[in-house]
């Protein structure tokens, strides 16, 4: 289904307790609305989530997601971004886009990245569920049409996993309630991630996360030596004692 449609829904990956813990951790972080139409003027976003709470780590390194990424990308693929997205009532539909479209490599091509969107609230056709265009990951330079949008309806605790070449966008929120979600995006290990985690996260925080997350933050090597620091493996920077950098 993933290779045919460009996406797959993974139901019920988070428990009720997981949802409560995540909500209690991220809701206090919600503040400013989006700065432009893409971010959404009636949407709240939280960046650098891993540096602000440990409650969302399970989003970044869920084993079901990593199993798919292991089949798609080279070893030591990277986390490109982890973000909270809260679409408020009255928000318009987001413009259709692809998540690896900023890498200037012509289509059609294999996906250079993949994304997950996790429903902390139920995703409905009315409250801003992500819209997708199934099969559009196979397109070349074809322009998507608004009429082709289909909402990803899923229960809270579920996740939609899709290829970076799939056309999609946040839906309009025509309900009277907010739609809370998190998105984690990933990329091949030889590409630059969207967030510079080596700058946005303290070394103490990096030490606190799982080995999988640490690797995906860039504390890893893509052979033969992409990612090295002063000629050494970047994990050496996490060891106690003085460092050259």
Q: Is 21 exposed, middle or buried (0-12, 13-18, 19+ CB in 10 A)?
A: middle
Predicted local distance difference test score (pLDDT) of residue 242 = 67
Q: What is the mean pLDDT of residues 99-110?
A: 95
| Contact yes or no for 120/182 (Cβ under 8 A) | yes
For the chain, the residue count is 245
**Spatial separation of the C-alpha atoms in residues 190 and 74, rounded to whole Å:** 9
Q: What is the mean pLDDT of residues 214-223?
A: 95
Predicted local distance difference test score (pLDDT) of residue 101 = 93
Q: Render pLDDT for 54-67 as a digit per residue (tens, 0 to 9).
A: 999 999 999 999 99
Give which of 127, 35, 27 is closest to 84, Cα–Cα. Answer: 27
Q: Render pLDDT for 137-190 as a digit per residue (tens, 0 to 9).
A: 999 999 999 999 999 999 999 999 999 999 999 999 999 999 999 999 999 999
**Spatial separation of the C-alpha atoms in residues 83 and 117, rounded to whole Å:** 10
| Contact yes or no for 136/171 (Cβ under 8 A) | no
Q: What is the mean pLDDT of residues 76-97?
A: 96
Predicted local distance difference test score (pLDDT) of residue 123 = 98
Domains in the chain, please, with CATH? 2-238 (2.60.120.620)
This prediction's pTM: 0.94
39 pLDDT more than 80: no
């Amino acid at each position: 289904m993933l290779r045919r449609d460009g996406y797959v829904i993974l139901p019920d990956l988070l428990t009720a307790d997981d949802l409560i813990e995540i909500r209690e951790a991220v809701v206090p972080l919600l503040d400013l609305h989006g700065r432009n139409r893409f971010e959404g003027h009636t949407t709240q976003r939280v960046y650098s989530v891993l540096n602000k709470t440990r409650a969302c780590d399970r989003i970044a390194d869920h084993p079901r997601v990593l199993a798919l990424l292991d089949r798609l990308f080279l070893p030591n693929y990277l986390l490109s971004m982890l973000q909270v997205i809260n679409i408020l009532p009255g928000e318009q539909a987001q413009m259709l886009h692809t998540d690896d479209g900023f890498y200037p490599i012509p289509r059609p091509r294999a996906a250079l990245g993949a994304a997950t969107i996790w429903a902390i609230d139920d995703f409905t056709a009315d409250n801003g569920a992500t819209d997708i265009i199934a099969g559009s990951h196979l397109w070349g330079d074809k322009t998507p049409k608004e009429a082709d949008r289909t909402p990803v309806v899923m229960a809270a605790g579920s996740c939609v996993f899709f290829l970076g070449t799939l056309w999609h966008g946040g839906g309009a929120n025509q309900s009277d309630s907010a739609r809370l979600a998190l998105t984690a995006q990933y990329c091949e290990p030889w590409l630059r991630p969207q967030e510079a985690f080596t700058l946005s996260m303290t070394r103490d925080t990096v030490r606190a996360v799982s080995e999988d997350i640490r690797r995906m933050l860039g504390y890893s090597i893509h052979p033969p030596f992409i990612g090295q620091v002063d000629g050494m493996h970047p994990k050496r920077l996490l060891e106690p004692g003085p460092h050259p950098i």
